[in-house]
Amino acid sequence: MNNGEKGYIHSVITGGTVDGPGIRYVIFMQMCPLRCKFCHNPDTWQLQEDRQKSVEEILFDIKKYKNFFTLSNGGVTVSGGEPLLQAKFVLNLFKHLKKENIHTAIDTCGYINIDETILELFQYTDLFLFDIKHLNNEKHIELTGKDNKRIKNFLDELKRNNKNVWIRQVLIPNLTMDTEYINELIKYLDKYRPIIKKIELLPYHKMGKEKWKKLGMEYKLSADTPQKKDLSEIKRKFENNGYDVLLSS
Ligand code: SF4
């Protein structure tokens, strides 16, 4: 698309506390290969060519907040959309950030071809927030529009490169919360245990619904929001299996 000097940015937040450790500067990139039915950022999907920023512009802004990061052990997270669709831009940015000793994180769905740029980017990324949508391929297609083979391969690649990972799972009643699914997830994650630093459980919510409406799209997922006691039970299950677990509100 370009040489990575400029990125298509949807928006930024300067005091994020939910996308990685500490206080974070979060950059939401445009475009995503998936179409998750529960997506609360569908406004990032389409390319808006007039919203480009250079690495220098973003760096200039980030440096204004550097003290907040260092005091809180935070840093910079790129999210989206899917940031790895603009891997060259993220690589350029992260090279500068590492020179400044700033912690770097990528929130990814993992639906990405692994090429030289991605492998180089691994060297400059301190943490991956890796979203699992559904382990079952058919259900994954139903939920996101794409199969999960590439996503599972991506997690294998993170393991091969010994990268630190937080696993993120959206908990949706009747889809990703029943005992059978949770047991399967715990079993699946076992071989990645050495790289998993945290499990982040994200209770399904419908806050994105209004955005879908504004964009003229039909929100088709008809699921309830989870019960607190069910969420606590799932959290306990992961903890009993030795994981550090964060249950988001
Ligand atoms: S991967 Fe994330 S941004 Fe993309 S559609 Fe799914 S929830 Fe939305």
How many whole angstroms separate alpha carbon 62 and alpha carbon 75?
Answer: 9
CB atoms within 10 A of CB 174: 10
Which CATH number belongs to the domain containing residue 172 in this structure?
3.20.20.70
Predicted confidence (pLDDT) at residue 203 exceeds the cutoff of 60 = yes
Q: Work out which ligand 1 atom sits closest to the CA atom of 170.
A: 7
How many structural domains compose the chain? 1
The rounded mean pLDDT for the chain is 96
Alpha helices per DSSP H over the chain: 55-63, 66-72, 87-99, 116-123, 137-144, 149-160, 179-189, 209-214, 228-240
Give ligand 1 pocket residues (Cβ under 6 A): 32, 34-36, 39, 41, 44, 80-82, 109
For residue 239, being part of any structural domain is answered with: yes
Residue 103 located in a structural domain = yes
- 38 is written with which tokens? 């529960």
pLDDT digits (tens, 9 = 90+) for 67-103: 888 899 999 999 999 999 999 999 999 999 999 999 9
* Cα(89)–Cα(39) distance, integer angstroms: 24
Average pLDDT for 107-122: 98
For the chain, what percent of residues have pLDDT higher than 90?
92
**Predicted pLDDT of residue 70:** 84
The answer to whether position 228 is within a domain reads yes
Q: Over 109-143, what HEC string results?
A: CCCCCCCHHHHHHHHCCCEEEEEECCCCHHHHHHH
At 177-191, the pLDDT tens digits run 999 999 999 999 999
Note the pLDDT of residue 2: 65
Contact 38, 208 (CB under 8 A): yes
| Residue to substitute in 28, 30, 32, 141 for testing ligand 1 pocket (most ligand atoms within 8 angstroms of CB) | 32
Residue 69 is predicted with a pLDDT of 85
Task: Report the candidate in 74, 84, 59 with the shortest Cα–Cα distance to residue 22.
Answer: 74
Instruction: Quote the domain boundaries for residue 70.
Output: 6-247
Task: End-to-end CA distance of the chain: give it in Å, rounded.
Answer: 37
201 near 171, Cβ under 8 Å? yes
Torsion of CA 90, 91, 97, 103, to 10 degrees: 80
Query: For atom 8 of ligand 1, which residue has the closest CA?
Result: 39
- Return phi, psi of residue 192, to 5°: -100, 5
What's residue 133's pLDDT? 97
Q: Is residue 13 part of a domain?
A: yes
Residue 225 lies in a domain: yes
- Best substitution site from 19, 31, 34 to test ligand 1's pocket, by max atoms within 8 Å of Cβ? 34
Any domain includes 1 = no
Is the pLDDT confidence value at 10 over 70? Answer: yes
In a domain, 79, yes or no: yes
In a domain, 41, yes or no: yes
Say yes or no to pLDDT of 239 above 60. Answer: yes
